[in-house]
Amino acid sequence: MKKILFKQQTLITAIAAISVLIVASSFIKRSDAKLPVDDLEGTISISGAFALYPITVKWADEFKKLHPNVKFNISAGGAGKGITDALSGLVDIGLASRDIDPSEVKKGAYTVYVTKDAVVPTFNTGNPNAVALLAKGVKRIQFLDIFVNGGIKNWNQVAGKVSVPIHIYTRSDAAGAGETWAKYFGKKQEDLLGIGVFGDPGLAQAVKKDPTAIGYNNLAYLYDLKTRKQVAGVHALPIDVNGNGKIDADENFYGTIDELTNAIAEGRYPSPPARNLGFLFKGKPKKKELIEFVKYVLTTGQKFVDENGYIALSKTKIQEELKKVD
């Protein structure tokens, strides 16, 4: 009987030992198993439009979470600088917020559109005629007389009764915002009157500091993305789209950035100054990291567009742009 019990105990011990070895072997195999390796690496250099800069930084940050071996060098200096930098080979991507000239196409400009936004006329909320301006808005012909012809020099010529001079501010750098705002009048940026100020942030600050100022800005510099409301001091100057001398209910869409982007997407805001924004390359991109970044921006990256104050491309448009990097 004792021999049988001894044999049973020996058998149980052996089985237990074998089980331990199997588990240990399984653990070793799992620990030694190689995880998928991300072989995407390199450095992507980008410069250009202030309009595209904020969302591009967001896209780059999110892309790096998936591909940590890819580095980014991103700077904002205006669309003109970005396009020039890309065509001269100084950067991989130029941030373009205006139409591309035929002369730039001849130099190899190759654009992939990634989102939409708009240029918005601005004024200082301390303007003594602010209430009347918000109620009446400004007609296109009046903006033309202010920014190009110089025929309107006083705010009471537009709305309100208080006589105060109009101080015009424009972009000093070659800017997509300036070019797009001028295009609204069939003109070029150099045709715009006013005191030149560098960059979107600078132009917003100039208008904010001058109670009688008028200017224009990209959406990202006019709204607080947390509250979704306009920043204090400088507000959108409503466009009287139908020219009837008042801002109707379907033209009153400046309260929040979401109202305005919806109006742009639905075509209720004029185009221009609504526009497409794009990545500009010198020739079709060939570097793997560039191609994968563009594909990311046009697919997963589109989910960050709305929350950052831009307009997502339509599904049809996204497919058209993806074909450009296939």
Host H or E run for residue 280:
strand 274-282
Under DSSP, is residue 267 helix (H, G, I), strand (E, B) or coil? coil
Q: Which CATH architecture has domain 118-265?
A: 3-Layer(aba) Sandwich (3.40)
In tens, the pLDDT along 303-319 reads 999 999 999 999 999 99
In tens, the pLDDT along 190-221 reads 999 999 999 999 999 999 999 999 999 999 89
182 close to 171: Cβ distance less than 8 angstroms: no
Instruction: Give this prediction's pTM.
Output: 0.85
pLDDT of residue 5: 39
325 close to 295: Cβ distance less than 8 angstroms: yes
In tens, the pLDDT along 270-315 reads 999 999 999 999 999 999 999 999 999 999 999 999 999 999 999 9
In tens, the pLDDT along 32-75 reads 444 455 779 999 999 999 999 999 999 999 999 999 999 999 99
Distance of alpha carbon 243 from alpha carbon 288, whole angstroms: 50
- Tokens 């892309």 — which residue? 63
Q: What is the mean pLDDT of residues 140-164?
A: 98
Fold annotation for 42-117+274-323: D-Maltodextrin-Binding Protein; domain 2 (3.40.190)
Residue ranges of the chain that CATH labels 3.40.190.10 = 42-117+274-323, 118-265
DSSP state of 101: P
Backbone φ and ψ for 170, nearest 5 degrees, come out as -140, 180
Q: Which two tokens stand for residue 59?
A: 């896209």
